[in-house]
């Protein structure tokens, strides 16, 4: 029977496992960006570690951002039923924006306490935070509207809700980048608040009324 032949296309399970690997590695690499402080003669360890607050903030917040994406990645993959070649590639592009995060985190840590370059570092950091929101939203758009990979028992209202939520999140980050161009610290604060809001659980899936039949 044909049914016993291997599936040559990437299954969603396979993509999910690969993504989990990249999430786990990117989140763990963040620690490498914290440099061991070089203490001057009279300097205390406490002062030296305190001076690392930009690196420590970058580590904690970066861990939170990637952790949130990991949780939501599992959530959204519970809504997919099929996958295809381009969906797999779109996930590679999304992961490219996740695995990139240790770099802007290091740039932020290096320059956020430097008045001359703080603004540029923050704008770049927020721009980099916008990228996974954009590729996430694009992947969802492709899967739900173009290639119909999403579980077709989900209610249209629910799918539309998620589309707006994801596009809205990407748009909000774009707006935050614009805010940061005017006032970088205000932009960073908004970026942190928006990300912290994802502490709330995602909405439970809603199914079409006739989907039990």
Looking only at residues 138 through 157 of this chain, which bind a copy of itself when binding is defined by CB under 8 A? 151, 153
Least Cβ distance, residue 129 to a copy of itself (angstroms) = 15
Is residue 7 close enough to count as binding a copy of itself by CB under 8 A? yes
Q: What is the DSSP letter of 2?
A: G
1 CA to centre of own chain: 41
CB 191 within 8 A of CB 176: yes
Coil, helix or strand at residue 199: helix
Q: Which of 54, 58, 111, 170 binds a copy of itself (CB under 8 A)?
A: 111
Distances (CA, A) of 71 to 40, 97, 109, 202: 42, 16, 25, 9
Helices 12-29 and 85-99, packing angle to 10 deg: 10
d(CA 52, CA 104): 16
Q: How far is the CB of 24 from a copy of itself (least distance, A)?
A: 3
Query: Quick one: tokens of 47?
Result: 């002062």
Out of 82, 99, 141, 171, the only residue in the binding site for a copy of itself (CB under 8 A) is 99
86 contributes a contact to a copy of itself by CB under 8 A: yes
Among 54, 112, 119, 144, binds a copy of itself (CB under 8 A): 119
From 82, 84, 142, 165, residue interacting with a copy of itself (rule: CB under 8 A): 84
Tell which one of 53, 57, 85, 133 touches a copy of itself (CB under 8 A): 85
Q: Which is nearer to a copy of itself, 49 or 171 (CB)?
A: 49
């Amino acid at each position: 029977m044909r049914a016993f032949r291997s599936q040559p296309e990437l299954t969603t399970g396979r993509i999910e496992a690969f993504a989990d690997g990249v999430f786990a590695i990117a989140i763990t690499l963040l620690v490498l960006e914290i440099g061991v402080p070089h203490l001057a003669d009279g300097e205390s360890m406490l002062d030296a570690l305190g001076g690392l607050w930009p690196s420590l903030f970058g580590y904690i917040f970066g861990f939170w951002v990637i952790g949130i994406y990991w949780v939501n990645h599992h959530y959204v993959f519970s809504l997919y039923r099929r996958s295809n070649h381009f969906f797999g590639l779109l996930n590679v592009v999304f992961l490219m924006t996740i695995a990139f995060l240790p770099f802007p985190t290091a740039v932020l840590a290096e320059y956020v306490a430097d008045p001359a370059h703080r603004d540029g570092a923050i704008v770049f950091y927020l721009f980099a935070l916008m990228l996974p929101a954009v590729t996430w939203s694009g992947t969802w758009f492709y899967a739900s509207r173009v290639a119909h990979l999403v579980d077709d028992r989900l209610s249209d209202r629910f799918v539309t809700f998620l589309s707006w939520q994801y596009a809205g999140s990407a748009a909000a980050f774009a707006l935050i980048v614009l805010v940061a161009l005017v006032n970088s610290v205000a932009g960073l604060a908004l970026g942190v608040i928006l990300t912290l809001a994802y502490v709330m659980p995602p909405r439970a899936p809603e199914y079409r009324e006739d989907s039990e039949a």
